[in-house]
Amino acid sequence: MLLQAIIFITGGAILALELLASRIMTPYFGVSLYIWSGILSITLVSLALGYWAGGRLAAGKKGRAPQPEKLAFLFALMPGLAALAIVAACLAYPYLFTQLARLDLVLGAFSACLILLCVPLLATSAMNPLLVAIRLRQSTRGELADAGAGRVFFISTIGSGAGVLVTAFGLIPYLSNFAATLLVAASLAVLPLILLFATSVKVAGRKPLVATAAVALAASLGLLAGADAYTGRMWPASYGGMTWQREASYRSLFGTIKVLKSEPLENGQFQRIYFQDGLIQNMVDGDNKSMSLYTYALEALSFAYRPALRSALVLGLGAGMVPMRLAGRGLDVTTVDIDPASLRAATEVFGLDRGKIRTHQTDARTFVRSCNNGYPVVIVDLFHGDGVPEYLVTRDFFHDLKRCLGPDGIAVFNTFADLDYPRAYAHFLTTLRAEFPFIVLYRPDYGPAARHLNSFVVAGSKPLPTPAGAEMKHVPARHSDTLAAMLRAPRPLDQELLEHGRVITDARNTAADDLAASQIIHRRSVVQALPAAFLLN
């Protein structure tokens, strides 16, 4: 029974490492098809090699099968080797993955998967055929028609399922990815010692096995105990001519939010960054006043097209700057965000007053599907990873979004456009126009050097009115001229903006390659600009 329990645990470790690998890699390589292609392909190749290697070890040399004691030694050795490989990966990745991402995002993602997953998964999967061989040696002829293979792989697979649940609900919300990965290593390292000292199974080579397991356990627990000190060596970090420290972290199943705080400026003031999965979502000053242009652009466009605005729906909370700006002007504001960590960070650090704003923790797609409230304005500020998730840029989503709007309601979008690769943005505009035929585009002018920038869209089912003048007195001086110039220069949709654009639906997305390419371009600029400490998740 104990051998089967060990297989159950190692099965869980395999899936735990896959989940943690995706979260470790996201800030460096983005949320993209390439990460999951790397994780799944490296996982499957490693498992295949592990099953093959375990079978070869069980068969022995020249057809002479090893003795049961030797098989037990090999079986017990594998989790110790896996734990050592995980510790080595944890020592390396905080400093190495930034360099891999800067060299090439696609090859870097596959290389990162190899570092995190290959050896641990190969070693743990080799245990399955080894256990089959052990059971075969222990059984009498004919007792096990399949040599116990079906039961072994059944237990391992059930363990994998349990590993997903434990990692998702027991590790990720409470531990950093670095610490959670080391905890998996420690769990594997202790297995050889349990086999040696808690069972009567005869094992050859006890001394080297004890030494391997002891070193793996000491290394994983030691690095786990010193995790903050080891990763803390990367701080303070320099960015934008300022020095930054990590002030707080908020974790959930949807990612990690870091609050970064600058050292005091000459006037004694400081700044904060709301940073999520490799992207700066907002910057605020010491009085929790947004320093990001998009905060004021969304507010100004909403009032420009609906001067008598009294209520609004905001899809996407972030640091809560946009909802609080609207609530500060007396609006009845409803916000929707799927990530509970966003609400915690916005409330505890960035001054969100939940008494002034109605909040819903749910997916935006789910909310708009049942929304019939007739909002005069819906602000769409939805980002995850390197852009808006694909299921939130389909015609089906925009069709549901119309139900949230009143008869003359408008939707105001905060998006990113890559001027060097306009095809991806053309797909978004083409899809949006299929449901909202009246669209106006606004872009700030940062000069020819700015190629990836915020692009604001106002869309309606009916002809849009002439926009009213915007109140600018509350806008920070650094943005007032840029915002005023942008509001004076709306750009209607034309053939150039829509060229090569295709309608995206839930059932059919022929633009996936273009969207992925655009995200890679964005992520490449991110990893080139940010220090490694920011990206460590």
pLDDT at residue 147 in the model: 66
Determine the average pLDDT of the residues in 66-70. 85
Closest by alpha carbon to 20, among 8, 35, 5?
35
477 versus 178: the higher-pLDDT residue is 178
Most confident among 130-144, 330-344, 417-431, 511-525 (mean pLDDT): 330-344
Would you state the pLDDT for residue 386? Answer: 64
**3-class secondary structure, 18:** helix
> What local confidence, expressed as pLDDT, does residue 150 receive?
86
Domain locations in the chain as residue ranges: 2-231, 234-279, 290-535
> For residue 146, what pLDDT is reported?
64
Q: Which residues contact 93 (CB under 8 A, 6 or more apart)?
A: 24, 112, 115, 116
Distance, CA of 532 to CA of 17 (rounded, Å): 22
Give the pLDDT of residue 63.
66
pLDDT at position 517: 78
- Find out whether 483 and 444 touch, Cβ atoms under 8 Å: yes
Give the integer Cα–Cα distance in Å for 401 and 282. Answer: 25
Say if CB 57 and CB 126 are below 8 A apart: yes
Interval 337-353 mean pLDDT: 94
Q: What is the DSSP string of 137-171?
A: HHSPTTS-TTTTHHHHHHHHHHHHHHHHHHIIIII
Using pLDDT thresholds of 50, 70 and 90, give the confidence band for residue 125: very high
CA angle 90, 93, 99 (to 5 degrees): 170
C-alpha dist (Å) from residue 295 to 281, 323, 456: 11, 9, 11
* 51-60, 146-155, 161-170, 481-490, range with the lowest pLDDT: 146-155
Mean pLDDT computed over 322-327: 94
Residue 447 has pLDDT above 90, yes or no: no
Instruction: Please give the pLDDT value at position 144.
Output: 55
Task: Name which residue leads in pLDDT, 35 or 298.
Answer: 298
pLDDT of residue 381: 92
pLDDT-above-70 percentage for the chain: 96
- Tally the C-alpha atoms within 13 A of residue 261's C-alpha that lie toward its C-beta: 13
Give yes or no for residue 141 having a pLDDT over 70: no
Share of the chain above pLDDT 90, in %: 65
What strands, in cross-sheet order, belong to the sheet with 279-285?
Answer: 237-239, 242-252, 255-262, 271-276, 279-285
CB atoms within 10 A of CB 528: 10
Q: How confident is the model at residue 402 (pLDDT cuts 50, 70, 90)?
A: very high
The structure tokens listed for 417 are 């456009």
Q: Give residue 503's Cα distance to chain centre.
A: 26
* Structure confidence at residue 345 (pLDDT): 95
Task: Give me 313's structure tokens.
Answer: 């729906």
Task: Give the residue-averaged pLDDT of 118-136.
Answer: 92
Compute the average pLDDT of residues 260-278.
88
Closest by CA position to 514, among listed 445, 418, 448, 391: 418
pLDDT surpasses 60 at 472: yes
For residues 93-103, give the mean pLDDT: 94
Cα–Cα distance measured from residue 261 to residue 259, given in angstroms and rounded to the nearest whole number: 7
Token pair listed for 207? 């001394």
Per DSSP bridges, beta strands 332-337 and 311-315 are parallel
CATH of 2-231, one of 1.20.1250, 1.10.10, 1.10.3470, 1.10.600: 1.20.1250
pTM: 0.88
> Which ranges in 141-277 belong to alpha helices (H)?
149-166, 177-197, 206-225, 227-232
Residues 26, 385 contacting (CB under 8 angstroms): yes
**For residue 235, pLDDT beyond 90:** yes
Tell me the per-residue pLDDT of 205-227, one tens digit each, with 9 for 90 and over. Answer: 889 999 999 999 999 999 999 99
| Residue 142 scores a pLDDT above 60 | no
- Of 86, 115, 85, the closest CA to residue 101 belongs to 115
Per CATH, the number for 290-535 is 3.40.50.150
Q: Between these two residues, 131 and 451, which has the higher pLDDT value?
A: 131
The answer to whether 182 and 87 are in contact (CB under 8 A) is: yes
pLDDT of residue 299: 95
Q: Which amino acid, residue 245?
A: Q
Mean pLDDT of 116-120: 96
Contacts of 197 (CB under 8 A, 6+ apart): none
Cis peptide before 236 (omega within 30 of 0): yes
pLDDT value at 246 more than 70: yes
pLDDT attached to residue 236: 95
Q: Does the pLDDT of residue 444 top 60, yes or no?
A: yes
Kindly state the average pLDDT of the residues 356-377. Answer: 91
The pLDDT value given to residue 48: 96
Give tens-digit pLDDT for 477-533.
889 999 999 999 998 888 888 998 999 998 988 888 877 777 787 888 888 989 999
Burial environment of residue 476 by CB neighbours within 10 A (0 to 12, 13 to 18, 19 or more): middle
| For residues 123-149, average pLDDT | 77
Listed ranges 19-28, 263-272, 387-396; the one with the highest mean pLDDT: 19-28
Considering the chain, what is the average pLDDT of its residues? 90
pLDDT at 115 > cutoff 90 = yes
Quick one: average pLDDT of 176-202? Answer: 91
